[in-house]
Amino acid sequence: MDKTEGDIAEAARLTARLATARLLVVDDEPGMRNFLVKTLAPHCREVVEADSAEAADALTARQLFDVVILDNRMPGRSGLEWLAEQRRRGSLSDTIIMTAFADLDTAIEAMRAGAVDFVLKPFRSNQLLNAVRRCVELAAMRRENALLRHELATGDPGRSRRARLIGASPQIEEVRQMLERVARVPSPVLLTGESGTGKEVAARHLHGLSERAAGPFVPVNCAAIPADMLEIELFGHTRGAFPGADAPREGLLVSAQGGTVFLDEIGELSASAQTALRRVIEDRAVRPVGSERERPLDIRLVFATSKNLPEEVAAGRFREDLWFRVNVLEINMPPLRRRGADTVDLARLFVTELSSQLGLPGIDIDAAARAAILRHDWPGNIRELRNFVERALIFGRFPVEQLNPPPSGPIEPLDDVERREILSALEATGGNRAEAARRLGVSRKTIDRKCAAWGL
């Protein structure tokens, strides 16, 4: 891409970001407000006007604005006085100060009050647009940096962040179909299943199918964040909210605006964090620690757990009202032992990925290794398979002796095995075919077809 094409692409990116911005214009002069709205409205998602600091108070109490364009000299409270008060209340909106009386003291006072830019009246429309674009771009860069720092601090930089489910088994195909069905609706999704079954990959797959695919995907492992830090990480904080909070900070939920937040292992949340999460789901808003005001959220929430949450509710460890709110759409991830040949497909994928990451030659999955991989139960699921492949690459061969030894007794016919396991599952579930199918990792139609063949 040459320089001209790069400039065009950069301009298009800035224009797209500006088109999503909500702006508030505060000026006591009707003519100036009219000029500002006409200049900005064609380029932004929304432009709202206020003729005084009091009117701006009412608007900011109801709605979050990305950028505030604020006149300094107004009747009553000045723009700088209003801005300083907003900062004390916890407002994080970027603010551009307008003034016709420019001097060094005013500029210094504006920066101290929290203004991010300063424009002198009279100004041209392109000067104002450029100032707003700078604000929107700086806000986007702050959020991207915060999300990158979060991922580096909590993830494995060398691990592939797969965004599509791998495999052709009926079990994983059923999951794909469910994700496609719910991708366009905003309702929360709960992913359940054993640890290591690929719940984060399924969440990324759902994000990629949704209308939010261009927005950020923010994974949060609730079990990895100390309970006393979780609200600060998720909700953010204002300046001075606690000792050491020298500057305001957006939380992960606000940084994910327009995207998807994946809250993994919600069964590990403390009681206070469960209460806070319930409020977020109900109000679609978040209140930063130390702030007097809530910030509206535009995010898709996807939850995951390897625990049996109904049992946790019965034991008093998980709030029942939160359980009802997260369990709107439940998708169960099948364990690897139920996915058949998908296991070999995943092993081949890991050979390719890990050999490149580790700088080691790849190895073939021969017939003996393939049989051992298919025979093993994989209690650690995909995570265990990946570690097994990594060891194989290091030693130059698949250590199949570490997996289940081959059966030494007579081989039982497959039909007999299927019949025994299905009938055992039906007995354990009191004849509930849907639940038996879920536990076996097959579809309800499979159970019905087998039972019909056996005359049941």
* Contact criterion met (CB below 8 Å) for 99 and 72: yes
Residue-level pLDDT at 1: 45
* Contact criterion met (CB below 8 Å) for 26 and 70: yes
DSSP reduced 3-state for 435:
helix
* Contact criterion met (CB below 8 Å) for 23 and 132: yes
- Percentages helix, strand, coil for the chain (3-state, rounded to 5) are 55, 15, 35
DSSP reduced 3-state for 96:
strand
How many CB atoms neighbour CB 82 within 10 A?
A: 25
Query: Which burial class, exposed, middle or buried, applies to 245 when counting CB atoms under 10 A from its CB (0-12, 13-18, 19+)?
Result: middle
57 φ, ψ to 5°? -55, -45
Residue-level pLDDT at 329: 93
Residue-level pLDDT at 6: 54
Digit-by-digit pLDDT tens for the chain (456 residues) are 455 665 555 556 667 778 888 899 999 999 999 999 999 999 998 999 999 989 998 888 777 788 999 998 888 888 888 888 887 776 768 899 888 776 677 777 777 777 888 888 888 888 889 989 988 888 888 777 777 776 666 665 545 567 789 999 999 999 999 999 999 998 999 999 999 999 999 999 999 999 999 888 999 998 888 877 888 888 888 777 777 777 777 888 888 888 999 999 999 998 888 998 999 899 888 888 877 777 778 899 999 999 999 999 999 999 999 999 999 999 999 999 999 899 999 999 999 999 998 899 999 999 889 988 988 999 999 999 999 999 999 999 998 888 866 556 666 777 878 888 888 888 888 889 898 888 888 888 888 888 888 877
Statement: the pTM of the whole predicted model exceeds 0.75: no
Digit-coded pLDDT (tens) for 369-409:
998 898 899 999 999 999 999 999 999 999 888 886 655 66
Contacts of 370 (CB under 8 A, 6+ apart): 344
* Contact criterion met (CB below 8 Å) for 333 and 192: yes
- Sheet bearing 67-71, strands edge to edge: 46-50, 22-26, 67-71, 94-99, 117-120
State both tokens at 290. 């130390």
Q: At what angle do helices 271-283 and 227-235 cross, to 10 degrees?
A: 20
* Contact criterion met (CB below 8 Å) for 41 and 132: no
β pairing state of 295-296 and 285-286:
antiparallel
Residue-level pLDDT at 409: 61
CA–CA gap between residue 372 and residue 15 (Å, rounded): 55
Digit-coded pLDDT (tens) for 72-128:
888 888 888 888 888 777 676 889 988 877 667 777 777 777 788 888 888 888 888
DSSP sequence for 399-415: -GGGSPPPP-SPPPPHH
State both tokens at 453. 């063949």
* Contact criterion met (CB below 8 Å) for 231 and 276: yes
Residue-level pLDDT at 2: 52
Q: What is the DSSP letter of 41?
A: G
